[in-house]
Amino acid sequence: MQIRNPITLNDWKIRSYFIAILGFQLGLLVIQLLGSMNSHILVLQAILEFAFFSFVPGIIVLRIMRIHHLSTIETLLYAVGLSIAILMFTGLLMSALYPLVGISRPLSSGSTLMTINVMTSILLLLSLVRDKKPVEPGYIDTGMVLSRPALLLYLVPVLTIIGTYFVNQYHSNGLLMLVIAFIAVIPVLIGFDRVIPEALYPLAILSISVSLLLHTSLVSPYLWGYDIHYETFLANLVMDNAFWDSTSPGNVNAMLSVVLLAPIYSYITGLDLTWVFKSVYPIIFALVPLGLYHVFRRQVEAKSAFLACFFFVSFIIFYAEMASLARQEIAELFLVLLLMLMVARNIPRRTHFALFAVFGASLAVSHYGTSYIYLLSLIAVWLYVTLSSVAATRGDTILKRSRKAGENSSGGDSVNRDGGRTITLAHVLFFTGFTLGWYMFVAGGTSFDTIVSIIDHIGNTIFVDLLNPEETEGLDLLISTPQSPLHTVAKGLHLITLALIVVGFITICFRCTNIDFSREYVAFSFIALLFGVAGVLVPNFSSTLNTSRLYQIVLIFLSPLCVIGGISILTVPGTYISKLRSGWLAGRTPLVLISVLFSLLFLFSTGWVYECANDQPSSIALSQDSITKYGGDTPKNVFYGTFIPEQDVFGARWLGEYMEDGSIVYADRTRKDNVLTSYGNIARNPPFLPKTDFKPVWGAYTYLGTYNIVERSASGPEEYYDYWSIEEIYPAINRNNKVYSNHQSEIYLNG
């Protein structure tokens, strides 16, 4: 049985398209009315409101632009990207224009919801006028989407949510451990061509991505991580003032992906900011691997594309660090959308540039680090493609003249090459101009000043500290000694994947395989590889950009090279592994061994192996009890630095509500920058607790969290990972008046 594809709504006949969207809007109104009378409807309302405003505005714009006959993945991601861009830039226009007509609180809940609904209705009417031509709708096979493998894949995120509930309520990680083990089996099944057919590979990727992100983000009802707390502070500031102050200095304040998108989603869904960041953003970010599958599939066959995506999501950076870094989650979505445009061949030139402009501008206002990396890569790729095209054209012209033939041998070749180009001077000029303009003139130009200072600092130290592990974070990670034999195995697996990436790049450069990568993708991969090498060799490069986040970005380009490298090594005649294939691996492809390698890497990265072996476990989702009971000083410092106990939240909320305005607050570095920022609405700034000689000023508050009281330790003041005992200064703290205590969080007042 086949039904119309609800994702490709832009391909429906105009009447059906209009009725579907109008019916969705009317259904939301009914649910809103029911939700006001029955609180149990609020969850359904939040889900439907999120789905509508994250998809429908974008699908309407696709119809306005007369973009049809895209694949389901393309339509879904383009629609979501356009919808998010519309929400961000609508909020920007409201903040800029409404005060000019006397609206002093332009970003209030009522004003925002009314504007977005009116804007969506106007776009809908415009689409009816712009695109009346009949279009053949796409269909989906219900037999496939309701098959047993599909139902099994649907079940994985559901079990993940239930598993996080058991962790939060009963401190039981058994179900989550089973889910992680099953996810590890999926690539092996695909490697052996069992259970999951090729048509369900995209669903498998989406199911795995959502499950991995939710298995960390839903642990604890509160925020956890580092940057997410300051992002919440800025978003709360916008919601409290119903206005975004674009002149307020600060890199993050210039990022619309946080200061405008998060408040708008909070208004739309009715969720508070904590749950917007813990549920809405991870679900959006889960689309990134799905988009990468589309990009990789245009370069390699389906199984290799799936394994490349699984390799990308296997690292803890994807489902742990990114889950607490909202602005980079949104930025990576737009980066992948730009890559999808790069491999697109069925979109007219002007429409293609319009989409590039929207996604490029959205990337620039989402995350400065990702934007600068893409900017440098874009310029380098354009130079390479332009110069290589000129050289190829001249070579073809000489060949043509030497043959003195009447055939236009070079003409067709040149047309094919130019026709395959999706990066032109116009693309480079637009993205460069918009990005630099935004960073120079918004938020006091701090984002631009930051990159200038980074370049200056690297330039001054590159020869002095070259290959110095103390100044080169990436090199320090490579040469560091693992904590145990199991951690040594994990490091070995990571090093193997790095070697495979290098081999894969060499393979595609010298065309040692029949896989035909586009010149632009090869160029982007080369630049990404250079960024990775710079993170290991160049002093202060990876530390200023953050090594893990830099690696996350370069893997967007390099993941398929790891698979290609593995295939190349496993198929070289005469190798020992190649000889094994004539025995027990007879008839199997090298992808079987690669899938097993990635599965093992995944089990180590998630902390599943360490939790089973009780060997220095570190997973916040799987090993909370193990870390607090058996972990050493360093794991406990890291744990309490990212995971916020409930008692700490209550203490921070009390302090934020009852302290006098302008009061000084002492706390250690982690508590000051995290829980006091997000839940106490207290700005990140000194003073921090000193290691010795603590003498608080009159009228100052001292905040202690669970880590300080239970473990008698503190972090900072310079770095989070610098921890020390508070026994020396605790008598000085205790001499002040204790004004709040819940046994794990205490607040003292001097005077």
**What mean pLDDT, rounded, does the chain reach?**
88
Q: What is the pLDDT of residue 549?
A: 85
Whether 743 and 650 have beta carbons less than 8 Å apart is answered as no
Cα-to-chain-centroid distance, residue 681: 25
Residue 176 to residue 159: CA distance in whole angstroms: 8
Residue 555 to residue 522: CA distance in whole angstroms: 14
What percent of the chain is helix, strand and coil (3-state, nearest 5)?
70, 5, 25
Q: Give exposure, 264-294, as e/b (b: 16+ Cβ within 10 Å).
A: bbbbbbbbebbbbbbbbbbbbbbbbbbbbbb
Q: What is the pLDDT of residue 480?
A: 75
Token pair for 20:
């579907």
Of residues 313, 309, 315, the one with CA closest to residue 293: 309
Any idea of the CA torsion for 186, 190, 192, 198, to the nearest 10 degrees?
A: 150
Of residues 366, 250, 284, the one with CA closest to residue 79: 284
Q: What is the pLDDT of residue 671?
A: 95
Q: Sign of the C-alpha dihedral, residues 517, 521, 526, 532?
A: negative
Token pair for 346:
């069925």
Whether 647 and 706 have beta carbons less than 8 Å apart is answered as yes
Predicted TM-score (pTM) of this structure:
0.92
Q: What is the pLDDT of residue 575?
A: 54
Characterise 149 by phi-psi region: left (phi > 0), alpha (psi -120 to 50), beta (else).
alpha
- How many residues appear in the chain? 751
Kindly tell me the burial class for residue 741, based on how many C-beta atoms sit within 10 Å of its own C-beta (0-12, 13-18, 19 or more): middle
Give 483's DSSP letter: S
Q: What is the pLDDT of residue 22?
A: 93
> What are the backbone angles phi and psi of residue 509, rounded to the nearest 5°?
-70, -45
Contacts of 700 (CB under 8 A, 6+ apart): 663, 664, 665, 666, 749, 750
pLDDT averaged over 10-residue windows placed end to end, the chain, 751 residues = 90 92 90 73 89 97 94 97 98 95 93 94 94 82 91 97 95 96 96 93 97 95 92 96 92 95 96 96 97 94 96 93 93 97 90 97 95 94 87 59 42 38 90 95 81 68 59 66 86 93 90 75 92 79 74 94 91 58 57 94 95 88 87 85 93 94 93 95 90 92 95 88 91 94 94 81
Residue 283 to residue 212: CA distance in whole angstroms: 11
| Strands (E) located in 217-343 | none
Kindly tell me the burial class for residue 18, based on how many C-beta atoms sit within 10 Å of its own C-beta (0-12, 13-18, 19 or more): middle
Q: Sign of the C-alpha dihedral, residues 682, 685, 686, 688?
A: positive
